[in-house]
Chains A and B, each alone.
Chain A
């Protein structure tokens, strides 16, 4: 099995375990490449990639752009704040116009769930979902899995907790799909109001006590409270949230074993995680960012290789 089963990367739900393993092993090779003195390889030199970001992003956009440039692809960037979307152009029109300029692949982030899947049915290019609303963020889940695997050696049988705003998080959903396919035990933890109604149907454990969750898990992925997606108040105050679901050094040190702390970024220091935890030796937050470039290179390389 040296080929992906899919032409697009729309979500972790649609890809197989073999796909995930292929991406992770290819990413391992790219990690070696990006640690060389000359970090660039010519694999995608005849490919043009458009990065369409209809929603703000720092890490993902930079990471994709670096991955594309290190594969020698030509890159065009687009962000909705400075485009004709503001003048009322539809998504398909915008993308088709960009494709008319002969673009081979599209990396897209969009506030609407399903936007990438919709696009893949209507335009003739390979689509990579870089986050669609509260739905999926597949490359984040893959880089999280890669980072966990790097630290723990294997994912099968490991206990992974996802803590925070599960309801609005595409990272949570993609992570659940990815980790379960890889054979991990997943627990979600957060306030009841930020827990999707049917979450247990995904086969994950649900917990509302942070201490119990951390005692149980081998690695904890701390999510940000997505205030931009919350139209109503889901909890009385940030201060109360921090008291109940924020991770601080005292709590971390009180655990019987050393667990790995992850965060997809951006961090709200002092809310879901305190500074001393984020910067501690147990945190692999910056490794996640480094691995993100390698994983995205693997995804781009493997998708471009598919005819």
Chain B
């Protein structure tokens, strides 16, 4: 077994989030027409950290952030054991710019399901994808992220483990070889 390799430690994690926030501000100004939607279960941690960071940079506490559960939209629910999470979107997505947020972009199937799931909340004007880690060599679908924390080249049997302040006490990304 190959030794686990740290891709982002706490410090670089922080820097990455700050950079992603400035990239978002460049494109979305004051976020008056933009909402953030984190994908359950792990994308919401990133979405909330970004929302918090944006709030402190822009001094704007009204940036809207929701969580979207995609269990019922997955195409593999009979192959995997899936546990549904909650969806909390208390704003209207209609005519808004939506930033979909997930931790790792791998096959693209989660994002495909996320796009489907979002349509139940209206017709967004524009949807962009933000991910912390892009495993660019493993895509099954033609889906690409616009904002990327870090791009890595990994083989399918490797695993990307993202640890969150909210659940693990610190932010860190590790690549685990099998």
Residues of A within 8 A of B (CB): 2-3, 25-26, 28-30, 32-33, 36-43, 71, 301, 304-305, 307
Q: Look across to chain A and name the residue whose beta carbon is closest to the beta carbon of B92.
A: A37
A residues in contact with B154, CB < 8 Å: none
Residues of B within 8 A of A30 (CB): 72, 84
Give, as a whole number of angstroms, the nearest-CB distance from B92 to chain A. 9
- The interface size bin for chain B is 20 to 34
**1/0 contact string of B118-149 vs chain A (CB within 8 Å):** 01111000000000000000000000000000
Do A26 and B84 contact each other (CB < 8 Å), given the known contacts A43-B72, A43-B73, A43-B77? yes
Pairwise interchain contact B121-A37, C-beta atoms closer than 8 A = yes
Q: Which residues of B contact A71 (CB under 8 A)?
A: 72
Return chain A residues, CB-CB under 8 Å to B86.
Answer: 28-29, 32
B72 to chain A, nearest CB (A): 4
**If A32-B86, A36-B120, A42-B116 touch, does A304 touch B78 (CB 8 Å cutoff)?**
yes
CB distance from B124 to the nearest CB of A (A): 13
**In the complex, A37→B93 CA distance in Å?**
12
Q: How far is the CA of A3 from the CA of B78 in the complex (A)?
A: 11
Interface readout for B72-115 with A: 1 if CB under 8 Å, 0 if not? 11100110011111110000000000000000000000000000
Question: A32 CA to B83 CA in the complex, in Å?
Answer: 15
Residues in B whose Cβ lies below 8 Å from that of A28: 86
B120:A38 contact, CB within 8 angstroms: yes
- Cα distance A38–B83 in the bound complex, in angstroms: 21
Q: Are B121 and A2 in contact (CB under 8 A)?
A: no
Chain B residues near A43 (CB, 8 Å)? 72-74, 77
Contact A36 B121 (CB under 8 A): yes
Report, nearest first, the 3 A-B pairs whose CB atoms are least far apart: A41-B72, A29-B84, A38-B120
Q: Which residues of B contact A33 (CB under 8 A)?
A: 72, 87, 120
Please give the distance in Å from A125's CB to the nearest CB on chain B. 15
CA–CA, A33 and B122, complex, Å: 14
| Residue of A30, A36, A43, A307 with most chain B CB atoms under a 10 A cut-off | A43
Please, which residues of chain B bring their CB within 8 A of the CB of A40? 120
| Given A42-B73, A43-B77, residue A305 in contact with residue B82 (CB < 8 A) | yes
Complex alpha-carbon distance, A87 and B74, angstroms: 44
Selected A-B contacts with CB under 8 Å, 20 pairs: A2-B81, A2-B82, A25-B84, A28-B86, A30-B84, A32-B86, A37-B120, A37-B121, A37-B122, A38-B119, A38-B120, A38-B121, A39-B120, A41-B72, A41-B120, A42-B73, A43-B72, A43-B74, A43-B77, A305-B78
Q: Pick the most buried of B82, B86, B87, B116: most chain A CB atoms within 10 A of its CB.
A: B82
A29 to B117, CA, bound (A): 13
Q: Which residue of B lies closest to A41 (CB)?
A: B72
> What residues of chain B lie closer than 8 Å to A38, measured between beta carbons?
119-121
Q: A29-B71, A36-B121, A43-B72 are in contact. Are A2 and B83 (CB under 8 A)?
A: yes
Q: For residue B85, which residues in chain A have a CB less than 8 angstroms away from its CB? A: 29
Report the Cα distance A113→B22, complex, angstroms. 66
Is the CB–CB distance between A42 and B72 below 8 Å?
yes
Q: How far is the CA of A200 from the CA of B90 in the complex (A)?
A: 49
Specify which chain B residues have a CB less than 8 angstroms from the CB of A25 in the assembled complex: 84
* Alpha-carbon separation in the docked complex, A26 to B82 (Å): 10
| Contacting residue for B81 out of A3, A36, A42, CB 8 A | A3
A145 to B96, CA, bound (A): 40
Q: Which residue in chain A gives the minimum CB-CB distance to B122?
A: A37
Residue on B nearest A70 in the bound complex, by CB: B72
A276, B16: Cα distance in complex, Å = 62
B32 to chain A: closest CB distance in Å?
23
* Bound complex: CA A40 to CA B73 (Å): 10
Bound CA span A119–B41, Å: 39
The answer for the CA separation of A301 and B83 in the assembled complex, in Å, is: 11
Residues of B44-85 contacting chain A, CB below 8 A = 69, 71-74, 77-78, 81-85
- Which of B74, B77, B117: most chain A Cβ within 10 A? B77
A237 to B48, CA, bound (A): 64
Shortest CB–CB separation between residue B81 and chain A, in angstroms? 4
Nearest chain A CB to B114's CB is how many angstroms away? 13
